[in-house]
Amino acid sequence: MSESDNLFEAVAAAREDRVMELVREQLGAGVSAVDVLAECNRGMVELGNRFAAGECFLPDLMFAGMIMKSVATELQPLLEKVQAAASRGTVVLGSVQHDVHDIGKDIVATMLRGVGFEVVDLGVDVPPEKFVEAIAEHKPQVVGMSVLLTTCFKSVIATVKAIEESGHRQAVSIMVGGAAASDLLRENAGCDFYGKTAVDGVKFAGNVTGTA
Ligand code: B12
């Protein structure tokens, strides 16, 4: 199949014009925003594999990152369509220290806001002490960490440790997600939940706050 024929390939080949066309086509054909996003994610993973195999280079990753941001902007109103009347709780969210990947984290934030959570988005490369300060200030029920680099596992572990040492551990449920995260990381770092997708994170926050 040629790269222009499907969304997965168009994303993996960083073909911006074709990606946006196919996203609109799929939405027009009734495919849900969550499914469109999932196919784009698979394309991004494939692009990452090609990068790891030396078949494409950093500028391709950067360009694809920009394309995904456009896709996320296009999908945002659809992901936000369920508006709750009252706040369902607060989530503090960030990409861990030394990790600047933020596309997935932003999608998690958009979806949480869309279903009525307040989200305190700390951004990228967030040091453990910033998570702790935000917990003290905003009193969230849930803390979410995004991690895409295996070299940043230690940042996840350090963040959980800092939360424990600050005395806030019992007050918050901690979730971890992102392409480098796994159930094993959750267990080793002492997080409460590993979410493979943004939807999993939203479900977890709902369960924690008893608003699912
Ligand atoms: C785009 C990209 C970049 C862009 C990021 C742009 C941006 N603004 O984010 C740029 C060019 C900056 C970049 C840089 C680098 N990257 Co990069 N990048 C990627 C790529 C191709 C896609 C990531 C992405 O956005 N995916 C789409 C989003 C939507 O998916 P996602 O983040 O996984 O999020 C979904 C879920 O995981 C979940 N989720 C995410 N966070 C959370 C949090 C919670 C709490 C929950 C519940 C769920 C959740 O929800 C989302 C939707 O369902 C990946 C490939 C891959 N396999 O992921 C490599 C990849 C992550 N990068 C990699 C590398 C090596 C790098 C660099 C070190 C390259 C270099 N030599 O400089 C730098 C590191 C920069 C740094 N310090 O962070 C490697 C990491 C390898 C590893 N195992 O550690 C990967 C896997 C590529 C590869 N196969 O080699 N990268």
- The mean per-residue pLDDT over the stretch 130-139 comes to 98
Domain membership of residue 59 (yes or no) is: yes
- Ligand 1 centroid vs 87 CA: distance in angstroms? 30
Q: How confident is the model over 32-55, as pLDDT tens digits?
A: 998 998 899 899 989 999 999 999
Domain membership of residue 38 (yes or no) is: yes
Task: Residue 12: give its domain's CATH number.
Answer: 1.10.1240.10
CB of 121 closer than 6 A to ligand 1? no
Task: Mark whether 96 and 71 lie in a shared domain.
Answer: no
In the predicted model, is pLDDT for residue 64 greater than 70?
Answer: yes
Q: In the chain, how many domains are there?
A: 2
CA–CA dist 77, 199 (Å, integer): 16
Residue 84's pLDDT is: 53
Domain membership of residue 1 (yes or no) is: no
Range with the lowest mean pLDDT among 74-88, 104-118, 170-184? 74-88
Residue 85's pLDDT is: 57
Task: Residue 103: give its domain's CATH number.
Answer: 3.40.50.280
Task: Mark whether 111 and 177 lie in a shared domain.
Answer: yes
Domain membership of residue 199 (yes or no) is: yes
- Ligand 1 centroid vs 211 CA: distance in angstroms? 30
Domain membership of residue 102 (yes or no) is: yes
CA–CA dist 185, 20 (Å, integer): 35
Burial annotation 24-42 (CB, 10 A radius, 16+ → b, else e): eebbeeeeebeebbbbbbe
User: Which of 101, 143, 204 to mutate for ligand 1's pocket (most ligand atoms within 8 Å of CB)?
Assistant: 101
User: Which of 55, 61, 121 to mutate for ligand 1's pocket (most ligand atoms within 8 Å of CB)?
Assistant: 61
User: In this structure, which residue's CA is closest to atom 1 in ligand 1?
Assistant: 65
Structural domain for 51, as ranges: 7-79
What does pTM read for this prediction?
A: 0.92
Tell me the average pLDDT of the chain: 93
Identify the domain boundary among 47, 79, 111: 79
